[in-house]
Chain A
Amino acid sequence: MTITEDKIYKALEQVMDPEIPVLNVLDLGMITAVRIGENDTVLIKMIPTFSACPAVELIRNNIRATVEKELGASVTVEIDKEAHWNSNRMAESAKEKLKNFGIAPPQIHNGEAYSEILMHTACPHCNSENTYLRSPFGSTLCRAIHYCRECGHVFEHFKPLE
């Protein structure tokens, strides 16, 4: 089987985030480069969402194992030190998946103060913007907790990050 970039990306679609199982590593924008070297060796570069993300090594191993299994190639996964993750890297389609999973997606931001964009995060259950931030920290590093005054749900939010 010839290894192509398309096939590598296809395989990467199967690698899900362990903390948000509806999103794969491409949805999240965690992959920064894919290269095919001599003898069909594959190099994949990735970046963690938050620098203290405890799942990085797990995700890295999952990427290697999945791509090796799908393509039968020897795969190296490196942490890309040049790039850094920000929430604008998340695909539009991923935001829809996130919302259907019950987590409000991150707003697009242009470096403005977080306090402004966190004020009226739309509720993933009823779409109301009559909400408030209860805490900028939640069950994982990438989530905040909000309350919806309209439907009374406490909901989680994938935090925007520069």
Chain B
Amino acid sequence: MTRNDAISQLLTAMADDSLIQGHRNSEWTGLGPIMEEDIAFSSMAQDKIGHAWALYRTLHENLGGTDPDRFAFLRGEKEYKCCHFVEMPNGEYDFSLMRHFLFDHAEAIRWEQLQQSSFEPLVPLARKLKGEIKYHTLHANAWITQLCRAGEESYARMQSALNTCFPLALGIFEPNPEAEQLLTAEKVYAGEAALRAQWMDRIYNILAVAGLNLPDENEVTPVYGGRKGYHTEYLQPLLDEMGYVFRLDPEAVW
């Protein structure tokens, strides 16, 4: 494996997470519980898909990847490297909010780190996206905190959503030993274990204020497989829907 192969693996996983999470966010459009939330999830969908696009462009322009649109829409299921967490259906609002909270803090930490990357094309992108994602975490923190103070049922649902989401969220940091060894040696990024430790610290502090109990990370089994191309039964139907219009005429000019 070359340095560029390892970088491509990292960026593909990040971009696919962002694309699929963006698609899930967009499924709230028109269905949000209140208008502001409908708008928030729709805006975050737009951001996430934009971030995925920027990464697919980097793969295309700097690492010899294929055309961003074709790469986003025409791959087979096994070629996607997203984690299972983002594939899961939206479920109820508690699940969607908790996923948004856990996922966006992980993204925020990843982009903060990448500002120091030795892979130069990522540096300006990291500076830009870090600022945008702050609004996502601001939104998530506000709702998590408020819903935990909104009565017994609301609190119980948030705790239960956290318990459900946590092992899935650990899948964001699925190790990729061969690539990581290269990438950390080359100072492209700090590696998944380091990001995960930072993420645990950050979410712990916010969850503590909300009064939620973070499950013990040694007591749960992280849900891995996505980074290797093994997916849940939910990804293929999502890909079918997401790429439906594109596949009607991949050569169309918009």
Point out residues on A near B: beta carbons under 8 Å.
Answer: 50-54, 81-86, 113-115, 118, 134-139, 141, 144-145, 159, 161-162
Q: Select one of A53, A82, A137 contacting B44, CB under 8 A.
A: A137
- Asked if A137 and B40 sit within 8 Å, CB to CB, the answer is yes
Main SS at interface, chain B: helix
| B residues 34-79 touching A (CB-CB < 8 Å) | 36-37, 39-40, 42-44, 46-51, 53-54
- Residue interface mask B20-45, A partner, CB < 8 A = 1: 00000000000000001101101110
The yes or no answer to B192 lying at the interface (CB within 8 A) is no
Main SS at interface, chain A: loop
Q: Select one of B37, B125, B128, B138 contacting A115, CB under 8 A.
A: B138
The yes or no answer to B157 lying at the interface (CB within 8 A) is no
Residues of chain A within 8 A (CB-CB) of B44 are 137
- Asked if A136 and B127 sit within 8 Å, CB to CB, the answer is no
Point out residues on B near A: beta carbons under 8 Å.
Answer: 36-37, 39-40, 42-44, 46-51, 53-54, 121, 124-125, 127-132, 134-135, 138-139, 141
A115 vs B121: C-alpha distance in the bound complex, in angstroms? 29
Closest to A47 in B: B128
- Asked if B50 and A51 sit within 8 Å, CB to CB, the answer is yes
Residues of chain A within 8 A (CB-CB) of B131 are 86, 161-162
Query: 26 A-B Cβ contacts within 8 A?
Result: A50-B50, A51-B47, A51-B51, A51-B125, A51-B128, A51-B129, A52-B47, A52-B50, A52-B51, A52-B53, A52-B132, A81-B124, A113-B134, A114-B138, A135-B36, A135-B40, A136-B40, A137-B40, A137-B44, A137-B139, A138-B39, A141-B43, A144-B135, A159-B135, A162-B127, A162-B131
Residues of chain B within 8 A (CB-CB) of A51 are 47, 50-51, 54, 125, 128-129, 132
A159 vs B43: C-alpha distance in the bound complex, in angstroms? 13
